[in-house]
Amino acid sequence: MNKVFSYFLLAVVPASVMFGCTSKQEVAFKHIGNPLIRHMYTADPSARVFDGKLYLYTSHDRDDTDQNAHFDMTDWHVFSTNNLTDWVDHGAFFSLDDVAWASKQAWAPDAVMRNGKYYFYYPIEQSMIGVAVSDSPVAGFKDPLGKPLIDNTGNKQTVGREPIDPAILIDDDGQAYMFFGCRDARVVKLKDNMIELDGEIQPVQINGIDQFTEKIGGGWYGEGPWVFKRGQYYYYMYSNGWEKDTTLVYAMAKNPMGPFDYIGEVMTPVGAGTSHGSITEFKGKWYVFYHSKLLSNQGKQRSVHFDEIFFDKNGKIIPLQYKH
């Protein structure tokens, strides 16, 4: 057993003991400080609130990950909580085995609820994004299309070089949007059924980043978009690269399609090599979820954290000072 995990598993008990669950996959644990998840490696957290309960969808860095392989990940996990202290890991609820049209690179996901159903969006093979649907937020997801929702085969100029990292926004008028892309920021509207595109894929315009270049940081767009609304503003968060001093940054707009104006850092760098996260409101407070390599010291065996964040009187994020 991994030495780090053998210590922290003392805080974990079977969900069947704590909550009367019967699934052998489920594991209950308590938040005892960052990292939040210590019994396995997780990354790319997408935090969603459904019916007053917070669900956290993550990618999964394996214990036997080859550090020389390119993020060889095979399934996704979902966690839930009513209070941010008591959590349940509902297990690997969806995997590459559930996708007939792809076979590798199960990377950063997202999920939303609409019309009583749950929609799970996942990137595969650095070139495609799929969608699965279920009546439950933690199990039973099926691929209704039998093919990708997004595919850049033969159309990289429009779709982007790497259509990964889907992030869904449903605005106040009920219009759904999918943001995605590595190096090439893209957005497309979705139809009400959430499994079809509604119009053309468009580039995301971020004003004020022209002076930044790759691996320099600042406002350069790398990957990992996340969009949420607070007050009159839409916040467009993303990663500005893959170096030890890169991090999550953001831009703001009054329209979900932009153009967005670059503001600055969401948080100081964690030194994980990758940055990917989400921001959500839960019970009247705002939280940022992100990952680090704190437990493993390996960039391909990451661990999810979360912290409360705050905004100034103008709606700007007060940058979180990362501590461990």
Q: Is 44 a catalytic residue?
A: yes
Question: Could you say which of 26, 143, 165, 223 is catalytic?
Answer: 223
Run of H or E including 156: helix 156-159
Q: How far apart are CA 210 and CA 249, in angstroms?
A: 15
Q: How far is CA 6 from CA 33, 39, 252, 295, in A?
A: 17, 8, 43, 12
CA dihedral 244, 34, 24, 46 (to 10 degrees): -60
> Is the previous residue joined to 166 through a cis bond, with omega within 30 degrees of 0?
no
Run of H or E including 3: helix 3-8
By CB neighbour count within 10 A (0-12 exposed, 13-18 middle, 19+ buried), where does 120 fall?
A: buried
Q: Is 75 a catalytic residue?
A: no
Question: Could you say which of 44, 110, 162, 184 is catalytic?
Answer: 44
Q: How far apart are CA 108 and CA 9, in angstroms?
A: 25
By CB neighbour count within 10 A (0-12 exposed, 13-18 middle, 19+ buried), where does 316 fall?
A: middle
Which residues are catalytically annotated? Answer: 44, 223
